[in-house]
Structure 1
C-alpha cells in the first residue's frame, strides 16, 4: 500500500517525467493490437481471406510485416523507460537513506510501470484498432484481402488482441524496469545518492559485452541476408532489416563510448567555427556520455531504419527493372512503404520525447551557468551547437547501419554490395531528423532557461 501511494504520488507530481514512456507504451500496445486484430480477422473469417491478386493470408502478412514493428516498439519502450527511471535516481536514493529497502524501491518502480501501462492501455487499443482498420482497407484496395473482410465486432475477438498486447507490453516494461532499478538499488544508500548527482564516465563491462554480442548478432543477420538467393527477396529484406535493428541495439548499448568518440572527432571543426559555444557544448556532451547516448540513439534509430527501408526498396525496384527473373510487385512496394511509415513514426516519437526530456531535466545546469555569468543567448547558442552535434552523430551512426544493411540486401538481390541509393529520399530523412532534433532541443531549452536561475539552482534536479 505504501509503495502504491508513493508511486502514484510521484506520477502526479512529475507527469512530464513519464510522458516519454507513456507515449512509447501507448505505441507498443497500439502496434500489438494492430497485428493481433489482423490475426483475429483471419481467425474469424467464414470464407477465403485472400483477394484476387493473391497470395499469403492475413496472418502471413501480419507476421512478416509486424515482427520488425513489434521489436522496434519494444526497443523504444526499453529506451524510454530506462531513461525515465534514471531521472528518478536521486529520489530513489533518498528513499534508501530513510530506511527503504531495495525490495521496497523495486516494488515502487514496478507499481509506477504498471500504472503507466494501464493508463495507456485504452488509448493504445483505440489507436491500434483504427490503424488495423486502415491497414485492412489498404490490403483490400491492393487486392491482398477479400473485399468483404471487416474487423470483428464480437467481444472475444476484440478483447483478446488487447489482452495479449497489454500482457506483452507489461512483461517487457517490467523486465526493462527491473534491470534499471537493480542498478540503483544495488549500491549502498550513500553511494547511490552520490552517484545520482554525478555520471560515471565509463559504461560497465556487462553492458559493453552485451553491445559486442549484439554487434556480432547483427553481423550474422546481415551475413544471412546477403546469402539469400535472389528469389527470396522478402526473406533477405526481413533479415537485413532485423540485422539493422540489432546493430542499432548494439549502438544503444555501446553508445556512451561510441558517441563520445564521434563527438571528440566532430567537435574539432565545430570549435574552429564557434570557439566559445563549441568548446562548452563539446565538453558537456563528452562529460555526460549516458545523457548523450540517450539523445543520439533515437536519431540513429530514425535514420538507420528509414534509410535501410528506402535503400532496400529502391534497390529491389532497380533489380526488377534490370532482371526479368526478379519481380517487385506494386503490393510489395506498398507493404514496404506502409512499414516504413510505421517505423518512421516510432522513431520520430522516440526522438522528440527523449530529446525534450533530456533537455528539460537540465534546468538546474542552465541556472548555474547563468549564475556564473552566462547570458540566456549564450546558453541557447551552446544548446544550438549541442543540437547540431547530436544530430550529426545520430545521422552518422544511422547512416553506417543503413549502409551495412542495404549492402547485405543488395548482395542478395543483385550480387553486388553496392545498393541503389535514392539520394533525394535519403536527404529528406536527414533533413527530417534535423527538423525533429534541433527544434525539440531548442524549444525545451528555451522553456528551461526562462525559469528563475536562483530558484532552479537551489532546487533538485528537475
Structure 2
C-alpha cells in the first residue's frame, strides 16, 4: 500500500501539490500561534504586566481561532479534491481484490506522507513568523521587551499532531464512499459524477448554516462598547457559513450556474452552451472551484467592511497610539486570511483544470479546436468567478450586517470602495489561472492523452 500510495502521488502531482501547500499553511499557522502562547506562558509575571493592551496570549487567541480554522478548512477542501481525482484508480484497486480497509489505509498513507513532507518547512516558517510578529508587537508596545519565544518543541509537535488529526479525520470521511460500495459499482461511479448531494452532507450543511446564523445573531446582540467581540463572532460566523457553502456547494453552485449561464448561452451559442453544460453537469467539480473563490471574497469582504463600519461609527475610543495599533492588527489579520484564501483559490483552480486533460483530448478528437476549447474555458472561468463572488458576497453581507447592528444600531454597514478591489482580485486569480492551466492542458497528442489519461 505504501508503494501504491507514493505512486499515486507521483502520478497526480497537481492534486497533491495543492494539498501539500494547504498542509504547509496549517502547520505554519498552528506553530506560529502556539509559539506565541508559549512565549506568554513562559514570560515572567512582571513582563506580562509591563505591556500595554490585551497581552500576547489574547492577541494570539483572537488571531489564532480564525486563522487556524481557515487553515484547516483549506486542508479539508484540498484533501477532498485530491481524493476525488483518484476515484477511478481507487475503484480499479477495489476490482482487483483490494479491501475497503486497504483503500482507506492507502488514503491515510498519502495524507501522512504529504504531511511529513511539509512538516519541517512549516515548522521553520511558523517559528520565524512567531519571532517577527512578537518583535513587532514589542515595537508597538503590545508586548514587554522581556517576552521571548521559548526554544521548546511543544508548539511544533502540537501543530503536527493537530494537522495530522484533521487530515486523518478528513481522509476517513472522504474515503468512506469509495471503500463501502461494491467494486464494480465503484468503477462505474468513477467514470461519472453523481449529481445528487448526499443526505448526510446536506444535513451537515444545514447544521452549519444554522450555526453560522446563531453566531451572527450573537454578534448582532453584542453591546456597542464591545466591537472586538462582535467582530470576532461575525468573522467566525462568516467562516461557518462558508463551511455550509462548501457542504451544500454542488447544489448552490448548480442553481447559480443555471441562472448566470442563460446570458452566456445567448452571447455565445456554441462555446457558451458547452461551458454552461459542463458546469451544471459536473457540479462537484464546479463546487471545488467555487468554494475557494467564495472563501476569498467572503472573509476578505467581511474584514474590510467591518473595519470601515467600525471607523465610521468611531467605535475605537482608546488613545491614538492604541487605535493605530488596532488598525495594524486588523490589517495583519486581513492579510493573513486573504493569503490563505488566495493560495487555496490558485491551488484548487490549477488542479481542477489540469485534471481535465483527458476531457479536452476527447473534445479535440470529436472536432473541437484548441481555440474553441479556450473560448469554452473562458466562459467557464467567468461563470466560476461570478458564482464564487456572489456566494462570498452573500456571506460577507450577512456577517457585516450583524457587526453593523451591534456597533451602529443599523443593519446597513459601510461598504468601502476596496470591496471592488476584492472582487477584481478574485476575478484576476480565477480567470487567468484557469486559462493559463488550460493552455497547458490542451497541448499534446489527443489520442495519446485519451488512451493514457496521464497528467
- Determine if the alignment matches structure 1 residue 334 to structure 2 residue 328: yes
Contact 1:299 1:347 in 2 (8 A): yes
Structure 2 unaligned regions, length at least 5: none
Structure 2 matches for 1:83-102, cutoff 5 A? 83-102=81-100
Structure 2 matches for 1:348-359, cutoff 5 A? 348-359=342-353
Deviation at 1:459, TM superposition (A): 2.1
Per the alignment, residue 182 of structure 1 pairs with 176
- Determine if the alignment matches structure 1 residue 17 to structure 2 residue 10: no
- Determine if the alignment matches structure 1 residue 5 to structure 2 residue 3: yes
- Determine if the alignment matches structure 1 residue 427 to structure 2 residue 425: no
Contact 2:295 2:341 in 1 (8 A): yes
Deviation at 1:270, TM superposition (A): 1.4
Contact 1:233 1:413 in 2 (8 A): yes
Per the alignment, residue 440 of structure 1 pairs with 433
The equivalent position to 1:202 in structure 2, one of 185, 196, 212, is 196
Per the alignment, residue 145 of structure 1 pairs with 143
Alpha-carbon distance in structure 2 between the residues aligned to 1:305 and 1:370: 39
- Determine if the alignment matches structure 1 residue 285 to structure 2 residue 279: yes
What TM-score do the two structures reach when normalised by structure 1? Answer: 0.95
Alpha-carbon distance in structure 2 between the residues aligned to 1:215 and 1:70: 20
- Determine if the alignment matches structure 1 residue 232 to structure 2 residue 230: no
The equivalent position to 2:299 in structure 1, one of 302, 305, 308, is 305
Contact 1:241 1:308 in 2 (8 A): yes
Secondary structure of 2:31's counterpart equals helix
- Over 3 Å counting, the alpha-carbon distance change for 1:358 and 1:145 in structure 2 is same
Per the alignment, residue 127 of structure 2 pairs with 129
Deviation at 1:46, TM superposition (A): 3.0
Alpha-carbon distance in structure 2 between the residues aligned to 1:350 and 1:324: 37
Deviation at 1:190, TM superposition (A): 0.3
Deviation at 1:447, TM superposition (A): 0.4
Contact 1:319 1:326 in 2 (8 A): no
The equivalent position to 2:378 in structure 1, one of 379, 384, 388, is 384
Per the alignment, residue 164 of structure 1 pairs with 158
Cα-to-partner distance string for 1:68-103 (whole Å, 9 max, x where unaligned): 000001100000001101111111111111111000
Structure 2 matches for 1:69-84, cutoff 5 A? 69-84=67-82
Deviation at 1:50, TM superposition (A): 4.8
Deviation at 1:130, TM superposition (A): 1.9
Alpha-carbon distance in structure 2 between the residues aligned to 1:296 and 1:305: 14
Alpha-carbon distance in structure 1 between the residues aligned to 2:328 and 2:318: 21
Secondary structure of 1:275's counterpart equals coil
Contact 2:67 2:337 in 1 (8 A): yes
Aligned residues: 454
- Over 3 Å counting, the alpha-carbon distance change for 1:48 and 1:387 in structure 2 is farther
Deviates more, 1:407-416 or 1:208-217: 208-217
When the two chains are superposed, the root-mean-square deviation of aligned CA atoms in Å is 1.7
Per the alignment, residue 114 of structure 1 pairs with 112
Deviation at 1:118, TM superposition (A): 0.5
Cα-to-partner distance string for 1:344-390 (whole Å, 9 max, x where unaligned): 01000000000000000000110011111111010000000100000
- Determine if the alignment matches structure 1 residue 456 to structure 2 residue 449: yes
Secondary structure of 1:147's counterpart equals coil
The equivalent position to 2:249 in structure 1, one of 236, 247, 255, is 255
Alpha-carbon distance in structure 1 between the residues aligned to 2:372 and 2:390: 27
Alpha-carbon distance in structure 2 between the residues aligned to 1:359 and 1:325: 50
Deviation at 1:51, TM superposition (A): 8.1
Cα-to-partner distance string for 1:7-65 (whole Å, 9 max, x where unaligned): 12322333333101100000000000000110111122235445866122211110111
Contact 2:51 2:144 in 1 (8 A): no
Deviation at 1:326, TM superposition (A): 12
Contact 2:79 2:170 in 1 (8 A): yes
- Determine if the alignment matches structure 1 residue 68 to structure 2 residue 37: no
Alpha-carbon distance in structure 1 between the residues aligned to 2:386 and 2:181: 36
Deviates more, 1:449-458 or 1:40-49: 40-49
Contact 1:7 1:112 in 2 (8 A): yes
Cα-to-partner distance string for 1:291-335 (whole Å, 9 max, x where unaligned): 0000000000000000000000111111117x9699982222111
Deviation at 1:149, TM superposition (A): 3.2
- Determine if the alignment matches structure 1 residue 396 to structure 2 residue 390: yes
Contact 1:80 1:354 in 2 (8 A): yes
Contact 2:43 2:146 in 1 (8 A): no
Alpha-carbon distance in structure 2 between the residues aligned to 1:326 and 1:373: 69
Alpha-carbon distance in structure 1 between the residues aligned to 2:308 and 2:51: 23
Alpha-carbon distance in structure 1 between the residues aligned to 2:51 and 2:413: 29
Deviates more, 1:341-350 or 1:130-139: 130-139
